Amino acid sequence: MEEILKTEGLTKTFNLSRKQQKIERTTAKRKVAVDNLTFSAYRGEIFGLLGPNGAGKTTTLRMLSTLIRPDSGDAWLNGCSVVSQPEEVRGKIGFLTSELKLEDFFTPNYLFDFFSMLHGVEEAEKEKRKKEMFDRFGIDKFAEVKVANLSTGMKQKLSLVISLVHNPEIIIFDEPTNGLDVLTARTVTDYLQELRDEGKTIILSTHIFSLVERLCDRVGIIIDGRLVACGNLEDVCDGMTIEDRFFEMYKEMKGGEE
Amino acid sequence: MKSNTLTIIKKEFARFFGDRQLLFTTVIMPGLLIYIIYSLMGTGIQSMITKGSQEMVTMRVENMPQSLAPVFHSLDSNLIVTEQSFTDEDIKQLEDKEVNDLLIRFPENFDEVIATGTPSDNVPAVEIYYNSTNNACSRVHRVVSSVLNNYARPYTVSELDQASSDSIGAMIWSKILPMLIIMMLFSGVMAIAPSSIAGEKERGTIATLLVTPMRRNELALGKIVSLSGIALLSGISSFIGIALSLPKMVGMGDAADLGFHYTTSDYFVLLLVIFASVLIMASAVSLLSALAKDVKNAGTMVTPFMLVVMLAGLLPMFQDGASTSLLIYLIPFYNSIEVMTAVFAHEMQWMPVVVTLASDVVYTGIAVWVLTRMFNSEKIMFSR
């Protein structure tokens, strides 16, 4: 198996404001969001990061996409370091999260061209890919409509397409089906499986057990910023469902509380 | 220029030129409004002056002194001078502003008293009755007052101004225009810069740009150059508005009559300095906008800065020409104002221009570097 992604001791700490201290019910001034995270992902697999809200999944993905810098540790995507080669890393990944928005003023057609240019996609390749992606996600019907006038589902499909304009080798999706209607969610998950079959590496974060069971080849369970289990789905589940296994680990971590 | 920077510039221009409302309010409206407002003001003032000077005024003089009669009769072709006494009722009628009358009452022995020297205990009192809200009466009153003041003096003063109308005009332009230009350029920057960076942060679209392989310095340069270009268009629009309305504003029919004739090199330097100023303004506002959490916060942060720039624009009014110290030309914003002052006063020298342009380019480079660092800072880009 070809190792495409490798993290080693990835750690990120945030300062807590007074407001955040109240919410977290703590007097600590700093919070370790991701604590010494080490895992790998391989070519042609879907790797799922499973954990509750606030576990550090999104922070991990933001470090992998170079939006934020780790305090210590590093990650390599296709051999490029997120710390020392962030531009190269960004050229190799497609990153999608609800935090990334598209300018309301422009049309899908314009945005596809714009992001293709920033990713250095050749003109002929761009046109071919645009047609293929627009056809597949039904964007061709509203290619010249401003994003402001699109429905939420359409916007999400467009965001997905835009994140993949350059046909990246590594795809990082934060909660890929969050907020999607059932039809769009199905389109997205089917497409992710198709990409996996094409040999792409997909890293996704989720707190939905069924999604992990249906999509992921390997899974990492993350609780309070720490990776408590990582491996093939069968190995991690150890004969249980992923949901039961998760709660067992969660109880162990939290000393019985749920 | 790097291709990603060009892509950002094209996108910013597409955003701007594609938004008809933004285009209208930023580029077309400033020039149009300035032209309309200044023209209306000029036309209104001219019309008041013209109306006042063309209307017939009747001046009734009681006890007309023989020494003054020929002077009064030759004062103005629109003035009818009659020698007759008047009553309190006649004075009361002046309260009606439509009555174009002016009444003067001299003492009976005015000529004799003046001829024998004015005794300190018996100063001849001349009474002038008029309505100051009537433009025609006011005009005649000013003339008559002037005549009487000069008449009573034991000597006359000849005020012989040797300055040409050209240099007087140049002095006026050098005190007013730098401030106007700076204000217009700044308002152009203000119209777009806060929403370009703080707006992108607020809408979440900046993060989408930051996950592309584009380098942060390409993004910073693209933002500053495109904002400068758009602000420059806004400034040019305002400038055209002023240039077209100027003749109506000054009421001279032609701005050239007031010394508004400059050489090609003057215009060339002005253009360079205007572009350098816009670069510096766009850089400074971009930095503040990047620091801000949202567009509203950006507006609040930029306001004190705008006041400082406006104050700098006012300084030429209180000084005698442009500074000769080259160090002054290292101060951003103020250096541009000083160069413009020198150009409009026909005192332009090349060294201050070179220092201004070079320092502005260096400051813009520093701003691009700082903005790049800010785009790299997760605390600045993703704080809420």
pLDDT at B154: 46
Q: Which amino acid is at B150?
A: N
Q: CA nearest B199 in A: which residue? A: A103
The b/e string for B40-58 (b: 16+ C-beta within 10 A; e otherwise) is eebeeeeeeeeebeeeebe
| Residues of chain A neighbouring B205 (CB-CB closer than 8 A) | 101-103
Tokens 């992998």 belong to residue: A64
Q: What is the pLDDT averaged over residues B147-166?
A: 58
Chain A residue set in contact with B, beta carbons under 8 Å: 65-69, 87-88, 90-91, 93, 95, 99-106, 110, 114-115, 117-120, 162
Q: How far is CA A34 from the centre of its chain?
A: 15
Note the pLDDT tens digit of each residue in A79-93: 999 999 999 999 999
> B233: pLDDT confidence band, cut at 50, 70 and 90?
confident
pLDDT digits (tens, 9 = 90+) for A168-184: 999 999 988 887 788 88
CA distances from B46 to B77, B172, B248, B259 (A): 20, 20, 8, 20
Helix (H, G, I), strand (E, B) or coil at B134: coil
Measured CA to CA, the distance from residue B384 to residue B380 in angstroms comes to 9
Q: Which long-range contacts (CB under 8 A, 24 or more apart) does A176-179 make?
A: A176/A96, A176/A204, A176/A206, A177/A206, A177/A208, A177/A211, A178/A98, A179/A98, A179/A152
Strand A46-50 to strand A93-96: parallel, antiparallel, or no bridges (unpaired)?
A: unpaired
Q: Which residues pair with B127 in a beta bridge?
A: B105
Of the listed ranges A146-155, B201-210, B255-264, the least confidently predicted one is B255-264
Chain A residue with CA closest to B4: the answer is A118
Residue A109 phi/psi, 5-degree rounding, is: -60, -50
Residues of chain B within CATH 3.40.190 domain(s) are: 55-152
CA dist B235 and B273 (Å) reads 13
d(CA B235, CA A134): 41
The per-residue pLDDT for range A12-66, each reduced to its tens digit, is 998 888 887 888 778 888 888 899 999 999 999 999 999 888 889 999 999 999 9
CB contact under 8 A, A90 and B211: yes
pLDDT at B157: 47
Confidence of residue B155 (pLDDT cuts 50, 70, 90): very low
Bridge partners of A219, per DSSP, are A48, A231
- The string of DSSP codes covering B68-105 is THHHHHTS-TTEEEEE----HHHHHHTTSTT--EEEEE
CB contact B210 to A (< 8 Å): yes
Cβ contacts (< 8 Å) between A68 and chain B: which residues?
Answer: 378, 382
Q: Which residues pair with A7 in a beta bridge?
A: A39, A75
- Just give the CATH number of A3-99+169-254: 3.40.50.300
Among chain B residues, CA nearest to A111:
B11
Q: How many C-alpha atoms does A71 have within 13 Å on its Cβ side?
A: 14
As a whole number of angstroms, the distance between CA A178 and CA A172 comes to 14
- CB of B241 within 8 A of CB of B181? no
ipTM score of complex: 0.87
Q: Which two tokens stand for residue B256?
A: 């050239």
Which residues lie below 8 Å from residue B303, measured CB to CB, with a gap of 6+?
none
Specify whether domain B55-152 bears CATH 1.10.1420.
Answer: no
Mean pLDDT, rounded, for B107-119? 75
Partners of residue A170 in chain B, C-beta under 8 Å: none
Q: Tell me the per-residue pLDDT of A111-144, one tens digit each, with 9 for 90 and over.
A: 999 999 999 999 999 999 999 999 988 898 899 9
Q: Quote the CA–CA distance of B147 and B256 in Å, as a whole number.
A: 33
